[in-house]
Structure formats: C-alpha cells, structure tokens
Structure 1
Amino acid sequence: HFCESIRVEPRWQGTNLCLTCGVAWLRTNQYTSVKPLGDRVLVKTKTTEDKTAGGILLPTTAQSRPQAGEVVAVGEGRSLGSNIVEISVPVGAKVIYSKYAGTELEFNDTTHLIMKEDDIIGILDTDDVKDLKPLSDRILIKVAESEEETAGGLLLTQASKEKPSVGTVVAVGPGGLGDDGSRTPLSITPGSSVLYSKYAGSEFKGSEGEYIVLRSSDVIAVLSS
C-alpha cells in the first residue's frame, strides 16, 4: 500500500514518520523510551502471526494486523469538569484495541502503538476472547449462530447466510464517563439476549464461537422469551 515517508530535521534526525492506511507510524533509532501524555497509553503490540494454523507461511499482505498487546506506559489522565480522571488500564495489562487505532512507533526493535485510552476495547488475560473484560460503555456479546436453512428448508451457503444481529451478553464494561468524571453503570446485564446494530462493533472468533464487542448505544433492544 501507499506510504508517504517524511524525514524531519534537525530534532527528529534519524527518524522516519510514515502514514499507512490512515495509521501514522514512526520508526526511530534515537529514542529508547516514550512517555504518553493526557489520556493516551503506550502499548507493546503482540507479534503478528506469520503462519496459518496449518503451518503455511503467509505473505506480509495476508497477515492480520495485530489487535492485542501489553500496556507499557500511561499518561496522567484527563480533566473532566473539576476532576482529573486517571487512566483505568494499569501498566502490564494485556489489552485488545480497535483495529486501526493509534500511532505506530518502532523503537528498541519492537513495535508499539500510542493511542487514546478509549481506543482500548478491553483487558484480556487469556488467549480466548470469551474472557475479555470490556472497558467503558462496551459490551461483549456471543453472536447467535447463523441459520443453516431457509424457512422452506433450503440449505444456505456460508456466503448467503444472513449476518446475525442477535446474541447473548457475556460481559459489560463499568460504564461511560459523565461530564463530571463519574461513571454511569450500564443497564444491560450479562446473560441478556439482545438485538444490536447490524454493522457495529469489532468481531472476534473464540473457542466457543463468534463474539462482537460494541458500544452500549449500538444495542437496539433487550429480548425476552
């Protein structure tokens, strides 16, 4: 893909700043540490898999951009009203973040991302998304399985299956921040069956099926039988 490289001098001598697919990234040999400011966090990204599960080597273009990493530094927080709200994600936390979030930094031969705290979807201490702890007003939902047959009994191909927008709530975040810095708990609870906006959120595959993480505002209705 297209990448525009900019060399800035003299302060940034030895540093390349690039823009790729709308995501800025920085490669530097001059600096050994980065201190995020405000409500930003620095995440050391998880290495992209270069092979499939069957051991087939993937070309660079086919490798998925990682969405996981470890928080290595945090800013001082942000001001809301008269209150300072500290970063809620601790250093050392394993996190999942939005797919195209942040500015990519490469230093100490390691790739990092600096991003807003709000770009972090949740904390994940295991390798399975079902264990995700959502942040802010986000909700983790296990997606209902697609119907295999039409009402007339015709078997559907994978491509023609209707994308489901119904699922079961697995976990909810602590709630969004108000203007005064206080959190408003979510009214949706784990175990609820919900209907959500069709193309909202971030999708993940887990050991027990497909999951989606979205904002509480993307939930249209709570369903009951």
Structure 2
Amino acid sequence: MTNSKTRLQSVMNFIKLAEQQANRPPGLVKLLAVSKTWPASRLRELAEAGQTRFGENYLQEALQKIAELADLNLEWHFIGPVQSNKTRDIAANFDWVESVDRLKIAQRLSDQRPTEKPPLNICLQVNIDDEASKAGVHPDGLMELAAAVSQLKNVRLRGLMIIPAIAETVEQQLDAFGRAQQLYSQLKTAHSSVDTLSMGMSADMQAAISQGSSMVRIGTALFGERHTPNKQ
C-alpha cells in the first residue's frame, strides 16, 4: 500500500507542477490509471490511496476486475480497440469509452447501453499522425463523425483521445499535442457537451498538459514496468 500511495502522490505532484508551469488552473487535469495486465489487488491499493478512475484495454480481463472491485465506487474507462462483438459487454459495464473511431461502434454502444444507466461517455479516438498501425478517425473526418455520434440517444460525446506517434524530441511531442488541441477546440465549439481532451502518458504527460490535455493516461509511473499482456 505504501508503494502505491507513494507512486500516486508522485504522479499527482507532477501533474500539479505541470499545470503550474503551463499557467493552467490547478486540479483541471484528471488522472486515469491505465491498469491493463495488473491484478485487481493492485488496483485496490491505488483506490484505497485515493485513485478512482481506471482504464482497461482488454475486455475479459477488465470484466473480472470490475466484478472483483464492485464494492468500490470506481469509474471505468475502456481505452482499447472496440470490436463489434464486444460492444454489448462494454456498454453494460463501463462508464466511458475513449476509443470510438467509427459510427457503427458508437451506434452499437448506444443501442446496447442498459436503459437504467446514464448515457455512456464517449471520446472519439483520432489518428493524429495518420499511422497505418493505429486505430482512430482521420482528423479530416472528425467533425462529421462527431456530428453523427452527438445525435445518438444513449451516449454522450465528451471529447477526443489521441495516441501520437513515438516522438524523439519534446518539440515533436508538442507538435502532435498542439494539433490535437486545435481539433479539440473546434469540437468544443461545435458541441457543448465536449469537455475532455485525453492525451499524454507517463513519458510525455508534461508536454500534453502544456498543450491542453484534461486527462492523462498513466500506467508505468503508477504501477511500474508492465507485465506481459494476456490479451482477451
């Protein structure tokens, strides 16, 4: 517990300092703990230290943790690629989906969201560097997709998520995050529900925060070096 609490406090201090250096209001940037491959016991330690938001990439692994940690008031984000045959379980068990890049997926999530639950929070994943190896809507197609998603009944458009290309310099990081921030500003102007720009990980969160990120997705800095993933 002590190690988890120390790691969490260190990350929160880093975020606070990055906000100050960027002249941004304190407490604006939210921390999403990326917990894929880590056991529920490690998540519980972080939760007991004060962390409430957790991001998972692999559905079956996540469902086991959600069930095991059901006694805690946690917010669950799905951040991995969304396959059509998994939308029902995602819609039923998560609070957020940050990796929507097709209208078909958004429609299925809306149709399959249980009626007793509030609308599912959606971030659109943008392939900011147009990488063939990565999912995400092309920047040119963002506004059209957002307009369609915003009309769906049981989802709520909240913003953007990006995973930029690996950068060799801080300048490259800033360039990608800056382009994402411009897209986010356009989206926010068009849709009043938009309030979230999810970008930045352990190695680049300072650059992301300086360019307007409102949610950083942190794994290594909170948990240590990642286990070999068991994808499901």
TM tier, shorter chain? under 0.3
Bigger strand fraction: 1
**What is the TM-score normalised by the length of structure 1?**
0.21
Higher RCO (C-alpha 8 Å, min separation 6)? 2
**What is the TM-score normalised by the length of structure 2?**
0.21
Bigger helix fraction: 2
